[in-house]
Amino acid sequence: MVDANNGALPMTVDCVLHNGKLYFEGTIIEGGLAIDGDRIVKIGREPNLPAAGERIDLNRCLVLPGLIDAHVHLRGQRLAYKEDFLSGTQAAVAGGFTTVLDMPNNEPVICSVDSVRKRVELAERKIVANVGFLSSFPHRTDEIADIVREGATAFKLYLSEQIGGVNIEDDDELLQAFTEVSRLNMPLAVHAEDAKMIKNRTNVEKAAGNNDVEAYCRAHPPEAEVKAARRVLQLAEKTKVRVHLCHVSSEETVALVNEAKKKGMDVSCEATPHHLMATSRLLTDLGAPALTDPPLREKKVMEALWGGVREKVIDLVASDHAPHSIREKTADSVWSVRPGVPGLETTLPLLLTKVNEGLLTVNDVVRLLAEKPAQIFGIQDAGFLSEGGMADITVVDLHRVGRIDVDRFHSKAEYSPFDGWKVKGLPVKVFVNGTLVLDKDEVVADEGIGRVLRSRKSLTK
Ligand code: DOR
Ligand code: ZN
Ligand code: ZN
């Protein structure tokens, strides 16, 4: 190890990856890297790499920092029939992600010290990728600091429905919670959709006997997002909390975020691959497998989101991997269908396809799926390749052609709005904490090799 040896390289390292193209400090260098234990100990051209117990030829594939999906529902516990820690993190590494951030709207809801502790304990034995856990607000604001100490990476607020503590209709309560999260300098992710508006519109549609996907879209209009986003940004301005808007899906929300950034607020936002790659037409064509919340939008929204990505108003892409059972996706009425699509195994191939089409660069992909998520969520030592850094590595073959096939998913979800789509660009090898976990199309990881991320203020480890 570098540290144990005063910075000197060991004579023989565990593993050398060679004949690759490395994304290093913003440019591509031809060469490889050396891994010893869980660290990268050398990055360089072939002659400068040390002797190794194992040498892996990368066949000139692209070596990226381990990718991070900042919005994933791993489920487990009472929702393990939809996904569990093992299947969810297997899906992550199969899709090229070495780290995922898990959402707290589970059963039980994660919104207390005990529930975070229990979830971490269960996950630690199973995960094959690194996982950070988000917590919803607890019932008492003074528990927020304890939840941080327990290891939560960030907080998550749903304005679309009451999940966890703090009454979402009460600005004073929200202000108090925002103030505490801000004091602790923790990030706050928000599902911004106005609960009352959704509820009223849903009741109107139901009363009229409407039960198709178009009715669902009318009940979840862009205005519901804009209204909630405005409210959140106002609260964030007052409290100076670091706020992150999840899955933005309207032109106006992008404009609001842009304005807030220009004012100097610490605000960020994400777009999902489904909102970037598909419109409500796909929802009309496919029905339930493409039903998500917020729903797919019109073409002009999709174009505005691409504008947001280009202008860097949209900071990152996150899958919002939200798996459900087939039974939950096949109800007669749209009001009984669970919204959510699995995205861990489709996000990277879809984005790499855009690179091949010339709509994104490799630098964009690294920014959107590694650098920005690491920065915004304070994931230390992640998002870039470095000597002495953790050996979390995603190797991709930009030229490999494939087809999205739900039958080959590692996720328990057996559907996808992208099923059958042709893609160009696939992950071929993934290393998590120095261990090879994806080799070609096979997940080769032992259960439990992933780490639980702890916030910097965590006192538990
Ligand atoms: O489509 C969605 N699915 N939107 C959400 O906000 C929740 C998620 C889920 O957990 O299934
Ligand atoms: Zn959401
Ligand atoms: Zn979500």
HEC per residue, 346-395? CHHHHHHHHHHCCCCCHHHHHHHHHHHHHHHCCCCCCCCCCCCCECCEEE
C-alpha 436/C-alpha 416 separation (Å) is 27
CA distances 392 to 92, 128, 199, Å, are 13, 12, 43
Q: Whose Cα sits closest to atom 3 in ligand 1? A: 340
The number of distinct structural domains making up the chain is 2
Q: Whose Cα sits closest to atom 5 in ligand 1? A: 293
For this structure, is 14 an active site residue? no
> Domain containing 145 — which CATH number?
3.20.20.140
CA 321–ligand 3 middle distance (angstroms): 7
Final residue of a structural domain among 376, 400, 420: 376
Region at 449 (left for phi over 0; alpha for psi -120 to 50; beta for the rest): alpha
Q: Beta strand 97-102 with 267-271: parallel, antiparallel or unpaired?
A: unpaired
Based on the fold, state whether residues 106 and 17 are members of the same structural domain: no
Final residue of a structural domain among 376, 400, 431: 376
Asked if residue 2 belongs to a domain, the reply is no
CA 290–ligand 2 middle distance (angstroms): 15
Asked if residue 165 belongs to a domain, the reply is yes
Asked if residue 381 belongs to a domain, the reply is no
Asked if residue 6 belongs to a domain, the reply is no
The 3-state DSSP class for residue 187 equals strand
Atom of ligand 1 nearest to the CA of 341: 1
Based on the fold, state whether residues 259 and 134 are members of the same structural domain: yes
| Beta-carbon neighbours within 5 Å of ion ligand 2 | 191
Atom of ligand 1 nearest to the CA of 160: 6
Task: Judge if the upstream peptide bond of residue 294 is cis by omega within 30 degrees of 0.
Answer: yes
- Alpha carbon 288 to its chain's center: 22
Q: Which of 292, 341, 344, 415 to mutate to test the pocket of ligand 1 (most atoms within 8 A of CB)?
A: 292
Tell me the two tokens of residue 94: 């199969």
Burial 353-367 (b: 16+ CB within 10 A, else e): bbbeeeebebebbbb
Asked if residue 455 belongs to a domain, the reply is no
Q: Which helix (H) or strand (E) holds 457?
A: none
Contact 44, 32 (CB under 8 A): yes
pLDDT in tens, the chain (461 residues): 444 455 677 789 999 999 999 999 999 999 999 999 999 999 999 899 999 999 999 999 999 999 999 999 999 999 999 999 999 999 999 999 999 999 999 999 999 999 999 999 999 999 999 999 999 999 999 999 999 999 999 999 999 999 999 999 999 999 999 999 999 999 999 999 999 999 999 999 999 999 999 999 999 999 999 999 999 999 999 999 999 999 999 999 999 999 999 999 999 999 999 999 999 999 999 999 999 999 999 999 999 999 999 999 999 999 999 999 999 999 889 999 999 999 999 999 999 999 999 999 999 999 999 999 999 999 999 999 999 999 999 999 999 999 999 999 999 999 999 999 999 999 999 999 999 999 988 999 999 999 999 866 554 43
What letter represents residue 303's amino acid?
E
C-alpha 177/C-alpha 184 separation (Å) is 11
Q: What is the average pLDDT score of the chain?
A: 96
Based on the fold, state whether residues 117 and 248 are members of the same structural domain: yes
C-alpha 275/C-alpha 294 separation (Å) is 9
Q: What is the DSSP letter of 9?
A: P
Based on the fold, state whether residues 51 and 161 are members of the same structural domain: no
CA distances 354 to 95, 349, 398, 425, Å, are 16, 9, 11, 9
Around Cβ 182, how many Cβ atoms within 10 Å?
A: 18
Q: Three-state secondary structure along 31-80?
A: EEEEEECCEEEEEECHHHCCEEEEEEECCCCEEEECEEEEEECCCECCEC
Q: Whose Cα sits closest to atom 10 in ligand 1? A: 322
Based on the fold, state whether residues 241 and 274 are members of the same structural domain: yes
248: closest CA among 167, 315, 156? 315
Q: Which entry of 320, 332, 392, 405 is annotated as an active-site residue? A: 320
Instruction: Tell me the ligand closest to 341's alpha carbon.
Output: 1
C-alpha 44/C-alpha 31 separation (Å) is 6
Domain that holds residue 39: 12-63+388-446
33: closest CA among 3, 68, 6, 2? 2
Instruction: Tell me the ligand closest to 161's alpha carbon.
Output: 1
Q: Which helix (H) or strand (E) holds 21?
A: strand 12-24
Asked if residue 97 belongs to a domain, the reply is yes
What stretches of 106-221 show up as alpha helix (H) in DSSP? 113-124, 144-150, 171-183, 195-207, 213-219
C-alpha 286/C-alpha 272 separation (Å) is 18
Asked if residue 461 belongs to a domain, the reply is no
Q: Is 106 in the pocket of ligand 1 (CB under 6 A)?
A: no
In this predicted model, what pLDDT tens digit does every residue of 398-456 receive, in sequence order? 999 999 999 999 999 999 999 999 999 999 999 999 999 999 889 999 999 999 998 66
- Alpha carbon 248 to its chain's center: 14
Atom of ligand 1 nearest to the CA of 323: 11
Q: Is 292 in the pocket of ligand 1 (CB under 6 A)?
A: yes
pLDDT for res 332: 87
CA 214–ligand 2 middle distance (angstroms): 19
pLDDT for res 253: 98
Q: Is 412 in the pocket of ligand 1 (CB under 6 A)?
A: no
pTM more than 0.85:
yes
pLDDT for res 440: 85
Computed from CA positions of residues 115, 121, 122, 123, in that sequence, does the dihedral angle turn out positive or negative?
Answer: positive
Final residue of a structural domain among 376, 396, 413: 376
Based on the fold, state whether residues 182 and 50 are members of the same structural domain: no
CA 272–ligand 3 middle distance (angstroms): 10
Instruction: Tell me the ligand closest to 321's alpha carbon.
Output: 3
In this predicted model, what pLDDT tens digit does every residue of 211-222 receive, in sequence order? 999 999 999 999
Based on the fold, state whether residues 222 and 292 are members of the same structural domain: yes
Based on the fold, state whether residues 181 and 277 are members of the same structural domain: yes
In this predicted model, what pLDDT tens digit does every residue of 244-283 receive, in sequence order? 999 999 999 999 999 999 999 999 999 999 999 999 999 9
> Domain containing 412 — which CATH number?
2.30.40.10
pLDDT for res 8: 73
Q: Beta strand 154-158 with 130-135: parallel, antiparallel or unpaired?
A: parallel
Place of tokens 């589970």: 106
Based on the fold, state whether residues 292 and 361 are members of the same structural domain: yes
Based on the fold, state whether residues 117 and 210 are members of the same structural domain: yes
Atom of ligand 1 nearest to the CA of 158: 6
Based on the fold, state whether residues 115 and 243 are members of the same structural domain: yes
Based on the fold, state whether residues 81 and 210 are members of the same structural domain: yes
Asked if residue 441 belongs to a domain, the reply is yes
